[in-house]
Structure 1
Amino acid sequence: MATPPIRGLAAVFAALSACVCVAIPATAQAPTLAMLDGLQKGQWEIRNRAKGESRKICVRTGRELLQLRHAGSSCKRFIVEDSPDEVTVQYTCSGNGYGRTSIRRETSSLVQIEGQGTTNESPFQFTAEARRIGSCTG
């Protein structure tokens, strides 16, 4: 005897619901910026390629490299790319401009950084190399 259409339809809906439930957790996971977590902690020197200037910062999480022109500002971030070797983050700092930073990892102690945006109503754009040079002081 054939299965009544209602029961057959209910079985199809049940199967589809199971598929949807399995797919939702995989797509709902937030990006983690794990590449930044894998960078060596410590004192890093950031050398601006165009100007030849350099400065030092203490890297504790790797996220310090995301907002070099807006350091210390509380900004909302949107992750554009989050791969094992490169991250790109766009951010907006209420009343203080915005930026977009791409960081490409060469090793756990050497990265290439590109940044652009505005701060204090002035545009900026830079490329830099950041390298771990030792332990943080203080």
Structure 2
Amino acid sequence: MYYHFATLLLFGPFIKLRFLGSTVFPYEICVQAANAIKSLLGSYRRLYSLRRTPRFVPIIALASNAMHVVRAETLALSTAPLVPQGVADLQEMAFSHGSAARGAKTLQAMGKGHAFPVSLSDDEASADDSEDPIGTLGRR
């Protein structure tokens, strides 16, 4: 997952560009990376569950799902089938990662076509993350 996330971060800023004289298309590379992340996340969900994932997984899931929404908007497709699964994944991760809940709200806003930045209400912006800073949550 790290590799595909790094690929998204590297080529993401260039998705609307084409490199002259090159067979590298940043948009296609990002779509392939997002699909690979989605596949790996599905495998992880089936094997374990998304309730107790490592800290980086919600960020990777949000980036992947955001790329799928961008792709759907680029191709003028409906984001209806894409957003619910990504939101469900992030909401399941919210069990142990507060940032995943905010990511789910962001993804829902993206699916509805809201302009960004989306502001959180005062309650949500000032609320603690409730994540364990040392990573000892669940250890006994």
Q: Normalising by structure 1, report the TM-score.
A: 0.27
Q: Normalising by structure 2, report the TM-score.
A: 0.27
Which fold has the larger relative contact order, with Cα–Cα distance below 8 Å and residues 6 or more apart in sequence? Answer: 1
- Structure with the higher fraction of residues in strand conformation: 1
Q: Find the structure with the greater CA-based Rg.
A: 1
